[in-house]
Amino acid sequence: MAVLEILKYPDPRLHLVAQPVAIVDERIRQLVDDMAQTMYEAPGIGLAATQVNVHEQVIVIDVSDDKSTLEVFINPKIIALSDEAIDHEEGCLSVPGVFETVERPDTVTISALNRDGDPYEKVCSGILAVCIQHEMDHLQGKVFVQYLSRLKQSRIKSKMVKLERQGA
Ligand code: NI
């Protein structure tokens, strides 16, 4: 396994749209394992392949307290969304140090493939619902700060560019 480099906002590669995985083979399983290690090492609770500059539809998530429950979503699709919405403070490994409130549906039903390539469905609520929607946005080339006002976005952008220059 390997720790991969995480792209930082406003890197334009974060806005590329990920393609579906054609076949879940050893290459994809290696990617899943490397992404999991990268996420745990960061540490974070979710990571999309887009963030490690691989533009295929792969997501890893672990929202458990003891980091014992890795969830793998390959080619995820939303098949149902609740009408109820929740506000949640989000952060992102590609936008370090920035935490902002985003409103999203509070329950989503997802269909996806697991690490073995087998299809499954999962009803996600609470923090898992927030996380899977955040990560699926990444696969569409969308970073959570794009839900914020233009003013906030440009402030965050300058802050990130400045940090980058300082070599942080
Ligand atoms: Ni993120």
Per residue in 123-135, pLDDT tens?
999 999 999 999 9
Query: Which residue bears the tokens 């394992």?
Result: 33
Q: State both tokens at 145.
A: 């700060």
Asked if 94 and 6 count as a contact pair (C-beta separation under 8 A), the reply is yes
| pLDDT band, very low/low/confident/very high, at 168 (cuts 50, 70, 90) | low
Please tell me the distance between residue 117's alpha carbon and the centre of ligand 1 in angstroms.
24
pTM as predicted: 0.96
- Using a 10 angstrom Cβ sphere, with 0-12 exposed, 13-18 middle and 19 or more buried, the burial of residue 81 is middle
pLDDT tens digit sequence for 16-58: 999 999 999 999 999 999 999 999 999 999 999 999 999 999 9
Which residues make Cβ contacts (< 8 Å) with residue 109, sequence separation at least 6? 78, 79, 80, 81, 121, 122, 123, 124
State the distance from the centre of ligand 1 to the C-alpha of 72, rounded, in angstroms. 15
Distance from Cα 101 to the centre of ligand 1, integer Å? 13
- In the reported structure, the alpha carbon of residue 97 is separated from the centroid of ligand 1 by a whole-number distance in angstroms of 12
129 in Cβ contact with 104 (< 8 Å) = yes
Catalytic residue of the set 56, 71, 90, 135: 135
Quickly state the pLDDT bin for 164 (edges 50, 70, 90): confident
Q: How far is the CA of 120 from the centre of ligand 1 (A)?
A: 23
* 90 part of the active site: no
Distance CA 154, CA 160 (A): 10
Dig out the tokens for 44 from the structure: 């974070």
Q: What is the pLDDT of residues 65-119, one digit of tens each?
A: 999 999 999 999 999 999 999 999 999 999 999 999 999 999 999 999 999 999 9
CA of 145 to the centre of ligand 1 (A): 9
Residue 143's contacts (CB-CB under 8 Å, 6 or more residues apart) are: 9, 14, 15, 92, 94, 95, 137
